[in-house]
Every structure is written in C-alpha cells, then in structure tokens.
Amino acid sequence: MGMPDYKRPFHSDDFRGYFTWTEELTNRFAGSYFYHACHQDELEDILVNRKLILRSEWSLEHPMFGQWTSKGVWVGLNAFHNGNYYGPFVLKFPIRLLNGKRFMAFRRKGDRDRYFFVQYETDIPLFDKNGNAWRRIKPSVYFNDNDGELSRKEKAIYDFILTSEIFIGDAEIDVENHPKCISQKCNGARKSESRKLLKQIAQEEFEKRFIESPRMRKFLRQFPIMEGRDVTLPEGE
C-alpha cells in the first residue's frame, strides 16, 4: 500500500508551477486565515521561540538527482472545526502573513483534491512543466471565485509548507477536538481537556511576559520586595 498524499515526496507529475502570494490575493480572501495544529510540547517550544519553528520535514523526488528532504512547517487553509487530527492546539494566523512569499504548487487528486504550496525562494527552478522551466501560474484557479472573492473549493484540502519561520505575534491560539492523532503522538484529546491545559499554558505565559515587560522591570527596581512573587489572574466564567 502506498504512502498517503500528505506524506509522499513531491514529484514532477504533481508539479503545476510557481507563484508569489500577493497582497491582491490576500484581499480576495477577505477575512481568511491559515492554521497550524500541534501538541502541548510543540506549542510550548513555539511560545519559547515566539515563532512558528521549522519542526517538520518535506521531500521531493527530482527526476535527475533523486529524493531530497528539507526542513519546513506545515500550515493549512482548512480549519477542521469538527476535529483536527494533527493536534489539539491550533494557531490561527491572518492570511496576510503569506504576502510576498513565493511557492511551488503541486496538485494531487484522490478521494479529495489536495493542493500543496511549498515555499521556495531560490531563483533556480527545480521542475519544468511542458518544457517551461519557470512556469508562472495564477493560484486563483485552484479556488472558487465568486465575483472576485476567493474561497476554498468544497472538500478540497490546501496545505502550505513554509520554509521560513513566522513570528506568532499576530496568531490566535485556541483548541479543537482531537479525536484521532495522525502522528500517533497521543491517543487523542477532548476539547474540554485541551482547554484546561491551554488555560494553564496561557497563565504561565502571562506571568512570564508580565515579568519581562519594561514597566514590570522598572516596578521591581522600585519595589525589590516584590521580586519572585506570583502573578495570578482571576478565574473567568
């Protein structure tokens, strides 16, 4: 049995061309986001680094030079609100953070259409399409177009593989039901359980950022007796 679409190395048969994500594209996806799901230890690493680190890999099969594997981080346009198989914690980023990034586009058709956009900023083409070594495409053709506004095609899956890190300052962090774990890192998690964990993580992150803030450092210089005290948030409803 072959590997699933999201694990197989990208191949020249899947290749469609190159494109740059522009501000115009972002505007046509008004109010849209991309998402990254992860587990607790991965979220804690992201928070320590304050950026979406390149914690995964992706591969391609070059027609002349064989298989090549590189670092990256997977994000997607699909929110999977009915259950995320990649982790219970979800970071939600405004789509404008893709502006200016250049991608290779790959398409695979199976039980669902899958589109893969791999960030590739080097000026050396890896594949050609019909003899065109640097084939430019319009990514809008892979989406529904309703009077100029773009949206995902029904049942299609859109994955981006980023090869440069993204700071998380504009990200919103929440939880989703995690009924099945594709990576087999856990046995799944209920949304209610993950929400409790996220509250603990958020409390610790608040204390850390509060202590590190310039105003707090100034306060502690003025009142050194407060050094080492815990900062506690009141419980919400």
Side chain identity at residue 162, one-letter code:
L
Return the pLDDT at 1: 43
Query: Burial level of 154, CB count in 10 A (0-12/13-18/19+)?
Result: exposed
Contact 78, 121 (CB under 8 A): no
pLDDT for 65-105, tens place per residue?
889 899 999 999 998 888 899 999 999 999 999 999 999 99
**CA atoms 165, 168, 172, 177: torsion sign:** positive
Query: Burial level of 207, CB count in 10 A (0-12/13-18/19+)?
Result: middle
Q: Distance between CA atoms of 188 and 181, rounded to whole angstroms?
A: 6
Q: Which of 194, 208, 207 is nearest to 37 (CA)?
A: 194
Return the pLDDT at 162: 98
**CA atoms 37, 40, 45, 46: torsion sign:** positive
Side chain identity at residue 155, one-letter code:
K
Low-confidence ranges of the chain (pLDDT < 50): 1, 237
Return the pLDDT at 128: 75
Listing DSSP states for 80-110 in one string gives -TT--SS-SEEEEEEGGGGTT-EEEEEEEES
Q: Which of 202, 119, 112, 99 is nearest to 163 (CA)?
A: 119
- Which residues does 112 contact at the CB level (< 8 Å), separation at least 6? 155, 156, 157
Contact 143, 96 (CB under 8 A): no
Return the pLDDT at 75: 97
Q: Which of 47, 155, 45, 163 is nearest to 98 (CA)?
A: 163
Return the pLDDT at 181: 94
- pTM of the prediction? 0.87
Listing DSSP states for 168-226 in one string gives -TT-EEEE--B---TT-SSS-B-HHHHHHHHHHHHHHHHHHHHHHSHHHHHHHHH-GGG
